[in-house]
Amino acid sequence: MSKIVDEVTSPNADYVAGFGDKGDLPMPPGRQFAILTCMDARLDPAKYAGLAEGDAHVIRNAGGRASDDAIRSLVISCKLLGTKEWFVIHHTNCGMETFSNEIMGDLLSGSLKTASVDASGWHDSNAGGGTIDGKFVNWLPISDQAKSVVEDVLRIRANSMVPGDIPIYGYIYDCKTGALNELPEATEVGKAK
């Protein structure tokens, strides 16, 4: 077995042992809200927002961007499972600020191996076996974190499947302190109608 698989499945035995009555939790989130946030490993929404099992929906992707698939999840979250308020939470020092669509396309054309980064930017090993397909993807990179939160809130707000009475709040999580800092401009454009 891979070492990583063992490191995931071994702690699960302890979790199962202490699972208690969580098997009786209903499917709809008890606290009736959803968070869209970045997949960054330093962010733990359960901790930074005080969530327990059954409390809320957490939708994660690279950057916490309002991609079509993130919106798909949010619409299911309210239409079928009753969430009433949503948060878009990006963060400081996000990896999505370190590249552009062009850079990602070029790295993937060099090889599929993990690229390296230094002060001058990203570099590929160019070991071969790459693909041009990355040049046809919008990777939703971020050049201005505050602006991207506003844009994501706006994009969700403007979607015809999103009810006007759901407020959408914009925040930036500070990786240095753990603080959630509201972006009033984003919350303003996301306010319920």
The whole-angstrom separation of Cα 9 and Cα 28 is: 27
Q: Smallest gap, in angstroms, from Cβ of residue 42 to Zn ion?
A: 9
Q: What is the CB neighbour count within 10 angstroms for residue 17?
A: 8
Exposed e or buried b for every residue in 37-63, given b needs 16+ CB within 10 A?
bbebeebebeebbebeeebbbbbbbbb
Residue 40 in the binding site for Zn ion (CB under 5 A) = yes
Judged by beta carbon, residue 35 or residue 94, the one nearer Zn ion is 94
Q: Smallest gap, in angstroms, from Cβ of residue 40 to Zn ion?
A: 4
Residue 38 in the binding site for Zn ion (CB under 5 A) = yes
Judged by beta carbon, residue 86 or residue 173, the one nearer Zn ion is 173
Give the HSE-up count for residue 93: Cα atoms under 13 Å, Cβ half-sphere.
Answer: 10
**Contact region with Zn ion (CB under 5 A), list: 50-58, 74-82, 88-96, 130-138:** 88-96
Q: Smallest gap, in angstroms, from Cβ of residue 128 to Zn ion?
A: 29
Q: Smallest gap, in angstroms, from Cβ of residue 135 to Zn ion?
A: 22
Residue 94 in the binding site for Zn ion (CB under 5 A) = yes
Residue 88 in the binding site for Zn ion (CB under 5 A) = no
Q: Smallest gap, in angstroms, from Cβ of residue 36 to Zn ion?
A: 12
| Nearest C-alpha neighbor of 187 from the set 85, 99, 70 | 85
Judged by beta carbon, residue 58 or residue 94, the one nearer Zn ion is 94
Judged by beta carbon, residue 138 or residue 160, the one nearer Zn ion is 138
**Which positions ≥6 away from 13 have C-beta within 8 Å?**
none
Question: Are the C-beta atoms of residues 97 and 180 closer than 8 Å to each other?
Answer: no
Residue 152 in the binding site for Zn ion (CB under 5 A) = no
Question: Are the C-beta atoms of residues 145 and 64 closer than 8 Å to each other?
Answer: no
Give the binding site for Zn ion (CB under 5 A). 38, 40, 94
